Chains A and B, each alone.
Chain A
Amino acid sequence: EAGVTQSPTHLIKTRGQQATLRCSPISGHTSVYWYQQALGLGLQFLLWYDEGEERNRGNFPPRFSGRQFPNYSSELNVNALELEDSALYLCASSGTGDYGYTFGSGTRLTVV
């Protein structure tokens, strides 16, 4: 069974540009979660999607947005990039049953 896959692995953008990160959940999982891990700031919850709807978001500005597609894959968009957006972005998925969250390998975004 394939795990959670994220693309791209690395992304370098210029301040002010937009970044798009992608995530494919484990087959059968309908919930997708996005987390940001910036240097020295730990893992911060960004967004939760389930059945195509945004269910919850963390304390991030509106320029962080995303969506979930009918096949449950998800996209995170970050507009008007700032230097402080440089971080590892991790995606996780979960389904029914007692197995918890499974994380992907992450996308390392660097804003220059």
Chain B
Amino acid sequence: GIQVEQSPPDLILQEGANSTLRCNFSDSVNNLQWFHQNPWGQLINLFYIPSGTKQNGRLSATTVATERYSLLYISSSQTTDSGVYFCAVGDGATNKLIFGTGTLLAVQP
């Protein structure tokens, strides 16, 4: 099956700093999403981005499907950005959304 790797596994930032999270996947995918899991467990959909670049406020994402990776950029980080960021890819053959192991982000004031 498709493998999804995220890096780094953990990240500590000072408020106001920028960061880049990476997602590598092992095969062609028909879907790629970035989620933020808040402390209560809810998965917030940040981007649906199987290819190309999107921006939403301080967050932006880029997926290069031909090279099988995606990047999530967080600029001017805030303490409310803390949590786990997941990359998930869609396996067209099974319709499963396969999750990476996540990046645990802690933004300190």
Interface positions of A (Cβ within 8 A of B):
31, 33, 37, 42-43, 45, 48, 55-56, 58, 88, 90, 92, 98-106, 108
In angstroms, how far is the closest chain A Cβ from the Cβ of B4? 10
Additional pairs, 15, CB under 8 Å, beyond known A42-B102, A48-B95, A55-B95: A33-B97, A37-B41, A56-B94, A56-B96, A58-B96, A88-B41, A92-B43, A99-B48, A100-B31, A101-B33, A102-B45, A104-B42, A105-B40, A105-B41, A106-B42
- Is B104 part of the binding interface, using a Cβ–Cβ cutoff of 8 Å? no
A92, B97: Cβ atoms closer than 8 Å: yes
B residues 78-96 with Cβ under 8 Å of A?
86, 88, 90, 94-96
CA A18 to CA B42, docked complex, whole Å: 24
B42 and A103 form a contact (CB under 8 A): yes
A50's nearest neighbour on chain B, judged by CB, is B95
- Interface residue? B35 (CB, 8 A): yes
* Chain B interface, number of residues (Cβ within 8 angstroms): 21
Q: Please tell me if the beta carbons of B42 and A45 are within 8 angstroms of each other in the complex.
A: no
- The answer on a CB contact under 8 Å between B96 and A45 is yes
B residues less than 8 Å from A104 (CB atoms): 42
Q: Which residues of A contact B107 (CB under 8 A)?
A: none
